[in-house]
Amino acid sequence: ADEGVVSLFRVDVDAPFGAGAPKVIDNTELSLPRDVALFFACDASCAAGTYSAAGGCISVGGERCLPCDASCASCDGPTHLDCESCAPGYDNGEVGCWPMTTVLFMADGDGGATTTPRILRDSVGGSAEVYIATDLANTHAMAIDQLAGYLFYASSDSLYRTDFPVASVESLLSTEFTDIRAMQSRPAEQQLYVADEVDGLYRIAYDGSGRTLVYGPQGGDGFEAMFIAGPTVYLGVSRTGNVGEILTAPIESVSTPTLDYADDGPSAIQSVASITVDVMTLYVYWADRVRGVVVVDVNGPAAGGRTDLITVTNPLTIAIDPHFSELWATTGDGSSAGTLEYYDLASGSPGGQPYSGGEIGGGLVMALQQCADGYTGASGSCQECDGLQSGCLQCSLPSVCTLCARGWALRSSGVCVQQTISWLQDSSGPSIVRVSADGDGSSPTVVTAVGASATSLVAVPGGADRYFYLTPDTDSLNYYDGASISSWSGFANAKRVGQPSNPDAQQLIGMDTVGERLFVALPFSPAIVSIKWDGTALTTLYSGSDVAEPVSPVYRADTDELYWIEQDFNIVRRAPAAANPDA
């Protein structure tokens, strides 16, 4: 171009490379030097350990750079759990970074010359260390309750308890059983379920008292394997002649166990050494010493779905690590050296073999799985879930909830927020009222009294009583922070044209929860204005001929656009959420 004449072009950067021609925005003579650089109010970088909440563009000063989760060395959003790299002691899991897997298992050696039975502790990338080395003859079963701080293990016919982390070993029951083969703790009830290969399934208290027979032998045989998933207990029986069976029964109310899996079809059982259930995918896994690890739909082979085999030689005990979607197994034939191995749950492919040494026993527990509702074992010991405790049932990390109670909603940030319905009422004086959304039949609660003309109520997300609303008779926008009401002027004509006596006819407030902005439609002006949640930066976005009786503004975060209805023309209009006269 000639000196002083600039052509400004715009290219759609989201289109395929080279697609379409640049669009000429302006080619008039401008008061600019010939060499022009365009700088946008956007910066794609955040400091280490933080991420941009604005999708790559942050305001000057980095107000939108938020901290990554402690499990991340770096993260790139859109949440604090989207790790690019993991902090020391963590590894890539199914979602985000997780602490290295910690397992406890029984072995007759320590990988060297020692052959004394002991419980070892291992982790991926680590090395086995001796955890317990007393009272361990013929150990086939262990259970853990990290919340209570107990590790339980059996030595043939006796039951022991030790503090977790280990401090001292205590004998709970001696010679009260014949041959303990499986155990599982129930943290909520503070009870332990013990499967005996001869005598059946027992329930006892954590202190060893109250031993009760739940299910006796079936067909003359006790239970070699057992796993409790929700209200159902899975019981494994190994018959003579390489014939195995898995029965199911309710764990709370005793009834006759039902035969669900037997020696037939692709899931034929020849022996049952261990059972586990993946409650996320609803698959049952069992260790068959002859065939390997069998995987079947939780409703049985007839239900269809996955029925296959993970090739594991001489599996003894299996457990699932849900954080890394892995199946762990101890292996051995009772005489030669055993191993500790793990496999990918989806593909069944081997992941690694952290340990091989002396004869491996049947005990294997994952130190990350046994926490009660409201607690997480992600750090190797049970920690209470942070945030709104009454709403969070399960969490993956202390700050990240994964399951909320009824009446609570799980946000993408991993926080449970209470689900409530709020509205404006006049029956007992103008007020904001709310009621739980779980349908429990409770009566609405009055949150606060408001002005007589209050309209267009919106709630601030997060579970607290925070609301914005308009009062047309005072031309004000109001904010209730849970304790007091603040009001800001400048909102004249917050009512429909021709209907000043019916201001509730349409919603007039839209909300940007990330940018903490409100968008207010003023139909009688007409205009669309924006304002920050703190009452600052009141800005007219569109007015006059740009709009015609606007109502019902809605903000779309992924495109930073605003939608509203124009009553005069019966249309929905869209425009940038920042003032742009040319839009």
Residue 572 pLDDT level (bands cut at 50, 70, 90):
very high
DSSP SS3 for 180: strand
CATH number of 448-576: 2.120.10.30
Task: Provide the pLDDT confidence category of residue 559 given band limits of 50, 70 and 90.
Answer: confident
Residue that wins the pLDDT comparison between 483 and 50: 483
Render pLDDT for 292-316 as a digit per residue (tens, 0 to 9): 888 887 766 555 555 678 899 888 8
Task: Report d(CA 393, CA 389) in Å as an integer.
Answer: 8
% of the chain with per-residue pLDDT over 90 = 14
What does the DSSP assignment read for 461-476? Answer: SSSS--EEEEEGGGTE
Per-residue pLDDT tens over the stretch 68-92: 877 788 887 767 777 888 877 677 7
d(CA 341, CA 245): 25
Domain boundaries, the chain: 50-92, 100-376, 385-416, 448-576
At a CB cut-off of 8 Å and minimum separation 6, what does 189 contact?
none
Task: Considering the domain delimited by 100-376, tell me its CATH architecture.
Answer: 6 Propeller (2.120)
Q: Which two tokens stand for residue 573?
A: 């209009």
Say which residue the tokens 């000063």 belong to.
61
d(CA 265, CA 172): 42
Q: Is the peptide bond before 78 cis (omega within 30 degrees of 0)?
A: yes
- 149 Cα distance to chain centroid: 24
Cα angle: 241, vertex 242, 244; to 5 degrees: 115
How many whole angstroms separate alpha carbon 508 and alpha carbon 514? Answer: 19
**Contact criterion met (CB below 8 Å) for 455 and 503:** yes
pLDDT in tens, 395-449: 766 667 777 766 677 765 667 776 778 888 776 678 888 887 666 566 788 889 8
Identical fold, 100-376 and 448-576:
yes
Tokens of 515: 């940018």
What is the token pair recorded at 184?
């599982």
Tokens (6 digits) for 395: 């969490």
